[in-house]
Structure 1
Amino acid sequence: MKKCLFYVLFSLTLLSGYAQENQTLDLNLKQIESLFLANNLDLIATKYNISIADAAISQARLWDNPSLSISNVNLWSTKSQRDEIRDMTTSSFAKNTEFSVELGQLIQTANKRGKLIQREKVSKEIAIQEFEEVLRGLKTELRKTVFEIEYSQSYLRILNNQQKSLGQLVEAYKRQVQQGNIAKNELLRLQSSLLELENEINETQSELNDQSKTLKILLNIPPLVNIQIIDSLEAVKTPETILLSDLLEKAEEQRPDMKGMRLQTKLHQKSLDYEKSLRVPDLTISAAYDRYGGVWKDFIGVGISIDLPFFNRNQGNIKAARLNIEQSQYLVEQHQNTIRHEIAAAYNNYSYAYDFYKRINKDSLLPELDSMLEAYTKNLLNRNISMLEYIDFMDAYRTNKQTMLNAQKKVDIQFEELQYITGTDIN
């Protein structure tokens, strides 16, 4: 798998650098997902939030910087002041200058720094779950896009096959009209059917182009590269082998948004702990030197300062933090209830889609349709069937093929939707 991914990435590098014409790359679903994980720009950008959260943790670990202040500096002195100072000292250092210097350091109490670190760690866990949520959504979009492309590519092959048969008939009828063997209105009826078919081919190709654009953006590959999806032919999982109770349990354990909401409650709890610690005043210790500012010409002293929590004891923020906890608990309960109903609905949708797919596979004449198309074309050329019978068969052929492809696509998409809502791959 790693060698295959390396080959794909190397091919894309060459194509992006040298491709002047449209190039085609054959990929299966696993190769596409590997490219997606390596190249998707939304994923790469979102992952930076985890590193940003790491930086916030590192910042929370840091001590407050000490403060240094210099004050009471006289910019000039009078003669009488200088004479007085001369009598007091023989030192030449700043001998005519009075000043004071103070060095202070804030000491956080009540383990504020530790509580802030714990809060930032929870924020990192939330960033990880947000990344997982983005990954979950983008991966589902990727797989659904692949299924849509597979459908469009298969349907185009069917339409092109019909176009080939109709084109041969139109050319044969043109010769017959020129020879006067058949009426011209029959040729016009065939040409009208061919035009309708070509119009549907153009519309399907347009849809395929839009789907391919979405896939290329998700994979971050050059626009000149065409992608041909190789059918994986993976067996469809029967609903009977999937227990709804297991899905409900997995969703509550695995869904990133559910984990994120629980972490929000935890974050609010850590915020409450931190806000409570802010009720305790911090200490500031200091050491000061004063020259000529008091009784002694060189004075060194130490000090300590603390706020007196008479009025502001952080009451409002503590109350808000408690309310945030209660609010988040209700939101978690509501989200759990929503998830349960989403899973039940998605499971039922998948069951219905699977039952319909199996039924038409069992009862359908689809395996015989391609040989019947060839037979009907020959019979019309040999005048064994009427034009109306042939046109009716062509419509039935296209409708049955399209119904089968739609049923397959519906099963794949509904199963992917079930996996998305569960929050994990269902094995």
Structure 2
Amino acid sequence: MRKNGFLLICTFLTSIVFAQKAEVIRLTREQAEGLFLKQNLQLLAEKMNIDAADAAVIQAKLWDNPNFSLGDVNLWSTKSQREQEQIPALFGKFAKNTEFTMELSQMIKTAGKRGKLINREKVSKEIAIQEFEETLRGLKLEVRKSLQELIYLQSYQRILNHQQEAFSNLIVAYKNQVAQGNIAKKDLIRLQSSQLELSGEIYEVKTNYNEQQKIIKTLLNIPPIDTVEIQEEDNTVKNPDDILLPKILEEASESRPDIKIANLQIDYFNKDLLYEKSQKVPDLTFAINYDRISAPWKDFIGFGVSFDLPFFNRNQGNVKLAQVNREQSKYQAKQMVNTAQQEITEAYNNYSETYHLYKDIQKENISEDLDHMLDAYTRNLMKRNISMLEFTDFMEAYKTNKETLLHTQKNLYIQFEELQYTVGKEIR
């Protein structure tokens, strides 16, 4: 029975595993970005910081609660106390011969502390919004770079597989020729060695492909057993000569979230300084108290006010800290603008150089010629019109030229995305 039960459980678990069939998810770039905005867990978590900052604003708007205290209660009365003038009950027999005092107090903040705190927390919320935008900016760049890397690896794998197929067909034919004694075995070994070397590169590319699959599936929150395939599209690239560098340098101050955060930090510490200065003025606590019997008069009701005397602590340290933070934030904002402008200039120059290199490669238009030549070289080797050395040299040149074209194209798109990232907006 135990054995049968164990087999039943194993069969059930195996059926569950096989029920979860892996799927190939085919996406365009636009669809992938839409999925990212909808499902990325880090983005969803970061967005909740805005709600947390909004809660801090709500909390700052709340008034302090009133305070109620009950004291001087005698829980029992002695015989001598009862023989004296008795204390009547409040109602029925409740509180007979019982003394107590009650006090109700309310603290009132002075010098506009509440309003100043609200204003400071509102800036904190604006900072949280820009921090979300900064996270979105960074993750969007990561998604786009990963998508482009995946497209590059998909294309490069096809090139290598095409070569692998050519080698496989030649090796089959050469084995027959070697068996018939028509071809020296050294030529077969040369082909097999080249194929083995190609297999090693295919393995490395596949490993990189698997790594990119992991990255993109994590960013899009896609199940690990599925495979993402990005559909290749003819994307038009923008001529860097049409992008005015002075214009995008100026736009960065208005579009980059990290610069906005730096400027908001100045505003935050300005408001923080006002709030800390207001703390020098003591708050007032108003109170009303009731004493049942121990005051000079029975059922005594009194009013009072209390406040700290600012002799020693006038919040000097926190005021000084707020002043230092404000001045520090001004320097940091200037440094942020300077860093951003340097990043934009570097990204623009890199994109411009890659763009012109890519256009030069396109002018040669050798990609299609190489594909035709691959078939021609394979046929000519079979007919012994070319030597084995010529064939293997061509195969290496074929792979190198194809890889250079794909790599330059990948870098072109990635560097354009990096330029958009440094500017902080889409470049139209």
How high is the TM-score relative to the length of structure 1?
0.94
In 1, the alpha carbon distance for the partners of 2:204 and 2:418 equals: 26
The amino acid that maps onto 1:130 is E
In 2, the alpha carbon distance for the partners of 1:90 and 1:390 equals: 116
Q: Is the 8 A contact 1:285 1:304 kept in 2?
A: yes
In 1, the alpha carbon distance for the partners of 2:17 and 2:226 equals: 11
1:379: Cα distance to partner? 0.4
1:240: Cα distance to partner? 0.3
1:89: Cα distance to partner? 5.0
In 2, the alpha carbon distance for the partners of 1:343 and 1:257 equals: 14
In the alignment, what sits opposite 2:183?
182
Say if 1:115 and 1:90 are closer, same or farther in 2 by CA, change over 3 A. Answer: closer
In the alignment, what sits opposite 2:340?
339
In 2, the alpha carbon distance for the partners of 1:124 and 1:19 equals: 46
Say if 1:166 and 1:17 are closer, same or farther in 2 by CA, change over 3 A. Answer: closer
In the alignment, what sits opposite 1:397?
398
In 1, the alpha carbon distance for the partners of 2:280 and 2:237 equals: 60
The amino acid that maps onto 2:67 is S
The amino acid that maps onto 2:253 is E
1:57: Cα distance to partner? 0.8
The amino acid that maps onto 1:243 is L
Q: Is the 8 A contact 1:251 1:339 kept in 2?
A: yes
* CA offsets 1:162-215 (integer angstroms, 9 cap, x no match): 111111100000000000001000000000001111111111011001001100
Q: Is the 8 A contact 1:60 1:113 kept in 2?
A: yes
Q: Is the 8 A contact 2:88 2:97 kept in 1?
A: no
Say if 1:107 and 1:18 are closer, same or farther in 2 by CA, change over 3 A. Answer: farther
Q: Is the 8 A contact 1:126 1:260 kept in 2?
A: yes
* SS of structure 1 residue aligned to 2:85: helix
In the alignment, what sits opposite 2:169?
168
Q: Is the 8 A contact 1:85 1:96 kept in 2?
A: no
* CA offsets 1:20-68 (integer angstroms, 9 cap, x no match): 3321121110000000000000000000000011111111111101111
The amino acid that maps onto 1:188 is I
1:80: Cα distance to partner? 2.1
The amino acid that maps onto 2:208 is E
Q: Is the 8 A contact 1:25 1:228 kept in 2?
A: yes
Aligned length: 411
In the alignment, what sits opposite 1:57?
57
The amino acid that maps onto 1:65 is N
Say if 1:372 and 1:258 are closer, same or farther in 2 by CA, change over 3 A. Answer: same
In 2, the alpha carbon distance for the partners of 1:117 and 1:232 equals: 50
* CA offsets 1:340-397 (integer angstroms, 9 cap, x no match): 1111111111111111111111124222110110000000000100100000000000
In 2, the alpha carbon distance for the partners of 1:127 and 1:17 equals: 43
* SS of structure 1 residue aligned to 2:32: helix
In the alignment, what sits opposite 1:41?
41
* SS of structure 1 residue aligned to 2:158: helix
Say if 1:414 and 1:282 are closer, same or farther in 2 by CA, change over 3 A. Answer: same
In the alignment, what sits opposite 1:154?
155
In 2, the alpha carbon distance for the partners of 1:307 and 1:194 equals: 88
In the alignment, what sits opposite 1:222?
223
Equivalent runs, 1:5-404 vs 2, <5 Å: 20-86=20-86, 89=88, 92-404=93-405
In 1, the alpha carbon distance for the partners of 2:17 and 2:85 equals: 80
In 2, the alpha carbon distance for the partners of 1:422 and 1:85 equals: 87
1:332: Cα distance to partner? 0.6
The amino acid that maps onto 1:60 is A
In 2, the alpha carbon distance for the partners of 1:34 and 1:228 equals: 15
Instruction: Provide runs of 4+ in structure 1 moved above 6 Å.
Output: none
* CA offsets 1:261-289 (integer angstroms, 9 cap, x no match): 11111110111111111111111111101
In the alignment, what sits opposite 1:4?
none
In 2, the alpha carbon distance for the partners of 1:287 and 1:137 equals: 58
1:227: Cα distance to partner? 1.1
1:296: Cα distance to partner? 1.2
In 1, the alpha carbon distance for the partners of 2:323 and 2:384 equals: 86
Unaligned runs of 5+ in 2: 1-15
Q: Is the 8 A contact 2:89 2:97 kept in 1?
A: no
In the alignment, what sits opposite 1:410?
411
In 2, the alpha carbon distance for the partners of 1:426 and 1:410 equals: 17
Say if 1:17 and 1:113 are closer, same or farther in 2 by CA, change over 3 A. Answer: farther
1:19: Cα distance to partner? 5.8
* SS of structure 2 residue aligned to 1:204: helix
1:77: Cα distance to partner? 2.1
The amino acid that maps onto 1:298 is D
Say if 1:315 and 1:90 are closer, same or farther in 2 by CA, change over 3 A. Answer: closer
In 2, the alpha carbon distance for the partners of 1:85 and 1:389 equals: 126
Q: Is the 8 A contact 2:258 2:336 kept in 1?
A: no
* SS of structure 2 residue aligned to 1:339: helix
In 2, the alpha carbon distance for the partners of 1:298 and 1:85 equals: 15
In 1, the alpha carbon distance for the partners of 2:313 and 2:25 equals: 67
Q: Is the 8 A contact 1:85 1:95 kept in 2?
A: no
